Structure 1
Amino acid sequence: MREKAPAGYDRHREHIDRGKIETVEYASETVGNFRKALIYTPPGYAEDKTYNVLYLLHGIGGDETEWYRHADPQAIFDNLYADGKLAPMIVVFPNGRAMPNDRAEGDLFDPDKVKAFETFEYDLLDDLIPFVESRYSVSAGRENRAIAGLSMGGGQSLNIGLKHLDRFAWIGAFSPAPNTKSPEQLVPNPEEASALLKLLWLSCGDEDNLKPISDRTHAYLSEHRVPHVWYEESGGHDWSVWKNDLYHFSQLLFKDN
């Protein structure tokens, strides 16, 4: 069990510098149209500096605005920057449902919509990351790039991040959903993964019906001695858990210790 974030961690504070959130559109050759993402730039963002990047993914019922609407991530980040606890990074909130109509409407479990979460791997790697790296002053090395997400997005983060350790050194999964591949598929070469990963974070609430997915992944990683953070906390499959995860996970990113 881990500690909860301190009171007020997600509330807007007065008299501190604030980052900015904007909506951008990028051309997706993978999907064949323009797609939207939200991007948070930290307080004092300047083109003459270079920044790390966190790609933060939503759940099956969300879109690029889900974190913004439910979690006030900009308040969490702004407060952490004010306290000197975050490494400089921009945060990209994509739409992980890579299909022409990517809105969260109708039957969310329609096979085409579920398949679109798999297709996002290519939209992210081939379209969104190049767009971000062309538009913002960011470092393009694997050690400067993180991927994390909640539920469906947690599964995506494990599936994509661990498959592409040449692109991501920092990976986080908050309450990953049944789209998560088996541990043997995720980490077929434990020694290689151990050598390449800077951080592998896995967390879940103790009342979450999906916890067995995290339990099996944690057990495999432990058995094969793959270094990782296992964060088991009180709660279910809900925002109080995921906001707490973001608070703790983000402070570990892009640091040597």
Structure 2
Amino acid sequence: MDYVFEMPAEMMVETDKKGTVERFEYDTFTYDEENKPLHKGAFVYLPYGYDKSVKYNVLYLLHGGGFTEEWWLKMFPDTVTILDNMIEKKLCEPCIVVTPTFYHGEDDKNTHDEGRCENFRHEIRKDLVPGIESRYSTFTEGDVSEENLIKTRSHRAFAGLSLGSMTTYRAAFYNNFDLFSWYGPFSGCCGPFGDHDLEVKRICETLENGHKNGYELDYMFCANGDADIAFEEHKDIMGRAVAESKYLEQGKNYDFFIIPGGVHDMKAWQLHMYHALQIFFKK
């Protein structure tokens, strides 16, 4: 694939064939020991012409620290325009994009507890994915049993920016590898205080154990600007992981896209999404 380092201008021009964004609300029992549900929400992008008789792939797309589910599609509505244009110009297949949050609510978003990243794994598996894929038309065809979610993993991708990139590794990749086969970590793996050796070990073990259990990685699309605060740790960890794991192959099921001069901002993250969706769900 030919990468570009600036979003093509035509992607930012509104088209007549617009998708829709709606709010999806659900309860999760993940966090309360007294078995009381936490009410949460996500935003869902449905492509132009969404048809309940058609099966759609799903991208679960996370925000960064201090923000919630509104980030991608509401705070930056030009993300919707990019998606509309990509689908209309057949750069990617029509797909559903879901933007949840790993925070527990509005009051929680100022926490600096990175445990949120890993703990989100339970909600993903028990509440979010089954909730979304029982309501919308996906390859599960309404059967959201764990067995069928695993069976349909190649129709499900997970990506996120910054703290959401860390969550992509910790909640989706390390802990739910049997549910997702496409990954997009945008800007970082472990943060400035993380353990690079541990992350490399976990990446390699996830891939090896997945292979043993019959779950292969379809693609990991890492992305960062080289002036991004998260660049050096991300590059170091993934470079070492590629060197150590025979299940991570540059150009086959992995790449690391670098924007020269790119920083930790939405301009870069939208470009990462633009490239990722041209790779995801294609064999």
TM over 0.5, shorter chain: yes
Q: CA RMSD in A?
A: 2.2
Shift of 1:115: 2.6
| Contact residue 63 and residue 103 of structure 1 kept, 8 A | no
2-structure distance, mates of 1:104, 1:17: 37
Q: What residue is the counterpart of 1:19 in the other structure?
A: 19
CA separation of 1:103/1:51 partners in 2, compared to 1, >3 Å: closer, same or farther?
farther
Aligned length: 249
Q: What residue is the counterpart of 1:75 in the other structure?
A: 81
Q: Does 2:153 correspond to 1:142?
A: yes
| Contact residue 189 and residue 233 of structure 2 kept, 8 A | yes
| Contact residue 26 and residue 35 of structure 1 kept, 8 A | yes
* 2:90 corresponds to which of 84, 102, 114: 84
| Contact residue 17 and residue 88 of structure 2 kept, 8 A | yes
What TM-score do you get using the length of structure 1 for normalisation? 0.89
Letter in structure 1 aligned against 2:218? K
For residues 199-210 of structure 1, the aligned pairs below 5 Å read 199-210=219-230
Q: What residue is the counterpart of 1:229 in the other structure?
A: 255
Q: Structure 2 stretches of 5 or more lacking a match?
A: 32-36, 141-151
CA separation of 1:48/1:58 partners in 2, compared to 1, >3 Å: closer, same or farther?
same
Q: Does 2:207 correspond to 1:187?
A: no
* 1:65 corresponds to which of 64, 70, 73: 70
Letter in structure 1 aligned against 2:127? D
CA separation of 1:156/1:71 partners in 2, compared to 1, >3 Å: closer, same or farther?
farther
CA separation of 1:36/1:243 partners in 2, compared to 1, >3 Å: closer, same or farther?
same
* 1:154 corresponds to which of 161, 165, 168: 165
Q: What residue is the counterpart of 1:129 in the other structure?
A: 129
1:64 aligns to what SS in structure 2? coil
2:205 aligns to what SS in structure 1? coil
| Contact residue 2 and residue 232 of structure 1 kept, 8 A | no
Please give the per-residue CA displacement for 1:173-206, whole angstroms capped at 9, x wherever unaligned. 0002535761211221545557701111111110
2-structure distance, mates of 1:103, 1:71: 24
Q: What residue is the counterpart of 2:8 in the other structure?
A: 7
1:128 aligns to what SS in structure 2? helix
Shift of 1:217: 2.3
Letter in structure 2 aligned against 1:197? L
1:159 aligns to what SS in structure 2? helix
Q: Structure 1 stretches of 5 or more lacking a match?
A: none
For residues 94-113 of structure 1, the aligned pairs below 5 Å read 94-97=100-103, 99=104, 101-103=105-107, 107-109=110-112, 111=113
Q: Which stretches of structure 1, 4 residues or more, deviate above 6 A after TM superposition?
A: none
Q: Does 2:268 correspond to 1:241?
A: yes
2-structure distance, mates of 1:150, 1:71: 17
1-structure distance, mates of 2:159, 2:6: 18
More displaced 10-residue stretch of structure 1: 142-151 or 217-226: 217-226
Letter in structure 2 aligned against 1:21? V
- Identity, in percent, stands at 28
* 2:54 corresponds to which of 49, 53, 56: 49
Q: What residue is the counterpart of 1:116 in the other structure?
A: 116
2-structure distance, mates of 1:9, 1:145: 27
Which has the bigger relative contact order, CA under 8 A and spacing at least 6? 1
What TM-score do you get using the length of structure 2 for normalisation? 0.81
| Contact residue 205 and residue 237 of structure 1 kept, 8 A | yes
